[in-house]
Amino acid sequence: MTLTDSRTTAFETPESPATAPVHSALVLFALAMGGFAIGTTEFSAMSLLPYFAADLRIDEPTAGHVISAYALGVVVGAPALALLGAKWSRRSLLIALMSMFAIANLLSAFSQSYGSMMTFRFLSGVPHGAYFGVAMLVAASVAGPDKRAQAVGWIMTGLTVSTVVGVPLATWMGQALGWRSAFAVVALLAALTALLILKFVPIDRPVPGASALRELGALKRPQVWLTLAIGAIGFGGMFAVYAYLASTLMAVTNVSPSVIPLVLVIFGLGMTVGTLITGWAADRALMPTVGALLLWSAASLALFPFAAGNVYTLSLVVFMIGCGGGLGTALQTRLMDVAEDAQTLAAALNHSAFNMANALGPWLAGLAIAAGFGWTSSGFVGVGLAAGGLMFWALSIALERQSTRSRITRR
């Protein structure tokens, strides 16, 4: 049995390509497990920061550079590994990426100094973007052209569920057993993912004619850049609020520290719901879904400053903001359409764009807070970023319509 989508390579099982079934649910589960492992280490590192800072004898602001090192690893590693792995089969590349991720997280658990921790967190981030990019191409291929976005959404759900389950558990382990145990568990999850991929993801052939040069061809396409810009700017609003959510809860909402994890779980639930709904909607109307999500995010972020005084209204708005996280699924699917024969690099760059949003949003919100506009000003900063993403979305729509009219005129 051979399964393909309109743009990606065929997958076949080793036993008998004509008859052996590919269990798509098991394939999606295996790939989503990798997303769960990645999300757990990315977000729990923030909550464990005070613990490894004390153990490594550095102050917390300095320890924060460890978080930045991971993000830098994502930005650098996503395009680099996508190019280096252009001639690999996607199954083999996924196993290699998860193995690298497992080793880097295990080394993080044994870090004895600030320098070694910085190095190993950077290396942990390197496979992040390439893994998600390739995993989503595989998921779309298995699901077929009519359910690509839903398949991509299931992989993203692995990451969103990690914010609800994995991060709280890793944080608890870090507190009870020491911060090193959390990174060791992530390494174990990554190793399990590699085994699941080996077991359930069908053997595939490298894409015919694939090369680093052909992948770089994606960078010649304006729609690829516009899609990446939508994510790098439009997604920044969500991160602007998330980065200072705990501080807002304590300083403005006046809740006890024990309430903060519950609100963060509500945010994760919003991301999970938004991702699943977006997958369904994007398979029916992709670009309208992108535009609707940006408008939803702008409206939700605008409500944040006014809802911050009460924990119940704030929790509702935080859930709404989390739902806007479905944008990642829609943009990943959009890149499959506009990248043409340079799928791997474009898919990986999507996660570099999201990490740029993760840097841009908190930085701009931090400037507003430092200027004296208050903790809730992060919501207004988020509105501006969502509006910026909407501008690039409108430009992409206009360029696409102009291209369509030009093709009709030439006929």
Distance, CA of 191 to CA of 260 (rounded, Å): 31
Of 250, 244, 362, 241, nearest in space to 311 by CA? 250
The one-letter amino acid at 52: F
Average pLDDT over residues 260-273: 88
- State the alpha helices, DSSP H only, in 48-147: 49-55, 60-84, 90-109, 114-143
In sequence order, the β-bridge partners of residue 11 are: 3, 204
**Reduced to 3 states, what is the DSSP secondary structure of residue 201?**
coil
pTM of the model: 0.79
Are residues 354 and 192 in contact, defined by beta-carbon separation less than 8 angstroms? no
Structure confidence at residue 17 (pLDDT): 36
Structure confidence at residue 24 (pLDDT): 82
CB atoms within 10 A of CB 280: 15
| Mean pLDDT, the chain, integer | 85
Q: Exposed (0-12), middle (13-18) or buried (19+): which is 14, by Cβ within 10 Å?
A: exposed
Tokens 């590693």 sit at which residue?
77
Task: Give the chain's domains with CATH numbers.
Answer: 7-210 (1.20.1250.20), 218-411 (1.20.1250.20)
| 158, 164, 252, 263, 376 from 246: Cα distances, Å | 23, 16, 10, 9, 11
Distance, CA of 153 to CA of 130 (rounded, Å): 17
Average pLDDT over residues 131-148: 85
Structure confidence at residue 348 (pLDDT): 80
Between 195 and 248, name the one with better pLDDT.
195
Are residues 333 and 326 in contact, defined by beta-carbon separation less than 8 angstroms? no
Question: 9-13, 114-118, 236-240, 350-354: lowest mean pLDDT where?
Answer: 9-13
Percent of the chain at pLDDT > 90 equals 42
pLDDT at 368 over 50: yes
Angle between helical axes of 377-410 and 343-368 (0-180°, round to 10):
150
CA 325 to chain centre: 9
pLDDT digits (tens, 9 = 90+) for 308-352: 999 999 999 999 999 999 998 899 889 888 877 677 777 788 888
In sequence order, the β-bridge partners of residue 203 are: none
Question: 135-144, 311-320, 373-382: lowest mean pLDDT where?
Answer: 135-144
Sign for the pseudo-dihedral over CA of 316, 317, 318, 323? positive
User: What secondary structure letter does DSSP report for 370?
Assistant: I
Sign for the pseudo-dihedral over CA of 225, 231, 236, 239? negative
Are residues 360 and 385 in contact, defined by beta-carbon separation less than 8 angstroms? yes
Question: 12-21, 90-99, 207-216, 392-401: lowest mean pLDDT where?
Answer: 12-21
pLDDT digits (tens, 9 = 90+) for 201-244: 988 777 666 666 666 766 788 899 999 999 999 999 998 888 78
pLDDT digits (tens, 9 = 90+) for 287-300: 999 999 999 999 99
Of 119, 64, 352, nearest in space to 219 by CA? 352
Q: In sequence order, what are the residues at sequence separation of 6 or more whose Cβ sits closer than 8 angstroms to the Cβ of residue 116?
A: 107
Average pLDDT over residues 68-89: 84
pLDDT at 111 over 50: yes
Structure confidence at residue 16 (pLDDT): 33
Are residues 94 and 135 in contact, defined by beta-carbon separation less than 8 angstroms? yes
Q: Which helix (H) or strand (E) holds 397?
A: helix 377-410
Between 194 and 369, name the one with better pLDDT.
194
